[in-house]
Amino acid sequence: MATITELKCALRETLESRGVLGQLKARIRAEVFHALDDVSEPRPSLSHENLIINELIREYLEFNKYRYSASVLTAESGQPEIPLDRQFLANELKVVEDPSARSVPLLYSLLSHFQESSEDGGGKMLLRGSASAAASTVTRT
């Protein structure tokens, strides 16, 4: 007859092999954060820049199946439950995508663009902060 310890070990191995254990841990963390969230402390308003940044992050998280992280981001940031249209994001970022780029999150394409432009001798970019924490000016050096 199996001991309690052996049963626990077998259960853990089964849940890990199915990929369920990580999901359960993430779900518990999300629920704990939700329960601890202080609703009396007002959140700052969601600026246009933060809306775009959060949406890029959410697209990345959902693509990589980090659904609970995405749900925590949405809840904590005040991001709309319905994701922004990808074409809207591309227009806001002033990028044009080829069909192959549409199969991955915009963050991957942006990273690839900046890595390729630095390899092509395009130099580094100087990022300057402005009065707004969310805005920045980009200048090539």
81-130: pLDDT as tens digits: 899 999 999 999 999 988 888 899 999 988 988 888 767 666 677 677 75
Question: Domain tally for the chain?
Answer: 2
66-80: pLDDT as tens digits: 888 888 888 888 889
Please tell me whether residues 72 and 9 are part of one structural domain: no
Q: Which domain holds residue 132?
A: 46-141
Please tell me whether residues 74 and 111 are part of one structural domain: yes
Q: Long-range contacts for 30-37 (Cβ within 8 Å, ≥24 apart)?
A: 30/68, 30/69, 30/71, 30/72, 33/72, 33/76, 34/72, 34/75, 37/75, 37/76
Q: Which domain CATH number covers 75? A: 1.20.960.40
Please tell me whether residues 73 and 141 are part of one structural domain: yes
